[in-house]
Amino acid sequence: MKNNSNKILNGDATELFKEIPDNSIDITFADPPFNLKKKYNGYKDSLEFEEYLEWCELWIKEMVRVTKPTGSIFIHNIPKWLTYYSSILNKYATFRHWISWDAPSSPMGKSLQPSHYGILYYVKDIKHTKFYELRYPHKRCRKCGYLLKDYGGKKQGLHPFGPLLSDVWTDIHRIKHNKYRDEHPCQLPIHLLERIILMSTDNSDIVLDPFMGTGTTAIASKRLGRNYIGFELDNKYVSIANDKLKYEQSNSKLGEFWVSFFLKDIISLRNVDWECLSEYYLLPQNNRAIDHTKIEFIDKKKIIKHFDLVINGNGKIKQDSMQQEFCNCP
Ligand SMILES: C[S@@+](CC[C@H](N)C(=O)[O-])C[C@H]1O[C@@H](n2cnc3c(N)ncnc32)[C@H](O)[C@@H]1O
């Protein structure tokens, strides 16, 4: 097992799982092929309905087997497949959340426009599972800076950084521009994985992803000081991932605290760390000011130097955009 740590193994996930002992992994995250005829380099994404589901049951059971009792199991897919995955997972683990990730996808013909992916969040032992509440920045109008959500008379109680994370994630966008993506049809944004990892693991924990693609989960784990194990069928994707990983460092921190960055901001932090992290920010005298003004860092230059190291460590900004919204301001 130690030999597999911080490696992406090239091969079939259902075979490679056999190398992983029971109850040995802190979290498992899977983003399997969606069986939607996506154009991968080698993999044919078009199994028969029953065949696809039988195959899914094999690796879902393996994910549960290898996850520690304190650990969590996450599976990302379109809602259709998640309904089947849930009925499998309900036999072996405990439901915690269905996270709705607001990210538009292609029109499907005569149907509602699909506008979210789901992330199933299951645990093995609900009483002993590791979980950290996260906060994300308030959503503001890009033009006028006001909060998009109307807090009515409760503005005095606003958290300076932002609300606690719910099970609906609207602030992370899929990678839209080709210049930011690898030669892969469905690469996930790194800060989506960072959010999951911050929420459910500690420093040095092990994260396993059986469908690693071009390495998103491995990069997020490495940036956050976690260990990873990946499986990936396609050697080309393994190579791309390893090339990127060479430039990554375990430094996604502010002071002593692991955080997730996007461009020049923190976009996920742990609620328990806020008291210490708040010392890096200039906080307003009156909390009502949060309604129209975003909090800024005290020493912007120092922090931005750190961001550049964390985000542009490999010389490229391999990040996606955040969702951007406007209010009805004139
Ligand atoms: C949806 S993509 C994962 C993308 C990844 N999350 C990323 O951000 O790059 C699914 C991946 O599973 C791989 N794959 C398909 N069948 C596999 C199998 N039996 N074992 C391991 N990997 C497999 C495909 O090559 C593809 O890269």
Residue 255 domain-assigned (yes or no): no
CB neighbour class for 239 (10 Å; exposed up to 12, middle 13-18, buried from 19): middle
The SS3 assignment for 142 reads: coil
Q: Tell me: pLDDT of 317 over 50.
A: no
**What mean pLDDT do residues 195-205 have?**
97
As given in the structure block, the two tokens for residue 66 are 């290898």
**Which CATH number is 196's domain given?**
3.40.50.150
Atom of ligand 1 nearest to the CA of 214: 9
In terms of Cα–Cα distance, which of 137, 242, 132 is closest to 197?
Answer: 132
Q: Tell me: pLDDT of 318 over 70.
A: no
The count of structural domains within the chain is: 1
What span, in angstroms and rounded, lies between the C-alpha atoms of 129 and 104? 31
253 CA from centroid of ligand 1 (Å):
29
Residue 35 domain-assigned (yes or no): yes
Q: Tell me the pLDDT band of 263, cut-offs 50, 70 and 90.
A: confident
Atom of ligand 1 nearest to the CA of 42: 25
Residue 41 domain-assigned (yes or no): yes
Residue 314 domain-assigned (yes or no): no
119 CA from centroid of ligand 1 (Å):
16
Summarize pLDDT for 99-141 with one digit per residue, the tens. Answer: 999 987 767 778 888 889 999 999 999 999 999 999 999 999 9
Question: Which residues constitute the domain of residue 102?
Answer: 2-141+164-248
Residue 188 domain-assigned (yes or no): yes
Q: What is the pTM of this model?
A: 0.94
- Ligand 1 neighbours, Cβ below 6 Å, are 12-13, 31-33, 40, 43, 184, 186-188, 211, 213-214, 216, 231-234, 237
CA distances 263 to 18, 83, 328, Å, are 39, 35, 26
Q: Tell me: pLDDT of 192 over 90.
A: yes
What span, in angstroms and rounded, lies between the C-alpha atoms of 122 and 75? 9
**Nearest residue (CA) to ligand 1, atom 27:** 213
Residue 297 domain-assigned (yes or no): no
Task: Supply the pLDDT for residue 313.
Answer: 54
Q: What is the mean pLDDT of the chain?
A: 90
Residue 210 domain-assigned (yes or no): yes
**Nearest residue (CA) to ligand 1, atom 3:** 213
DSSP secondary structure string for all residues of 206-245: EEEESS-TTTHHHHHHHHTT-EEEEEES-HHHHHHHHHHH
Residue 286 domain-assigned (yes or no): no
Atom of ligand 1 nearest to the CA of 55: 19
Summarize pLDDT for 144-187 with one digit per residue, the tens. Answer: 999 998 888 777 889 999 999 999 999 998 887 777 788 888 89
Task: Supply the pLDDT for residue 86.
Answer: 98
Q: Tell me: pLDDT of 189 over 60.
A: yes
The Cβ of residue 163 has, within 10 Å, a number of other Cβ atoms equal to 16
Q: Tell me the pLDDT band of 309, cut-offs 50, 70 and 90.
A: low
120 CA from centroid of ligand 1 (Å):
17
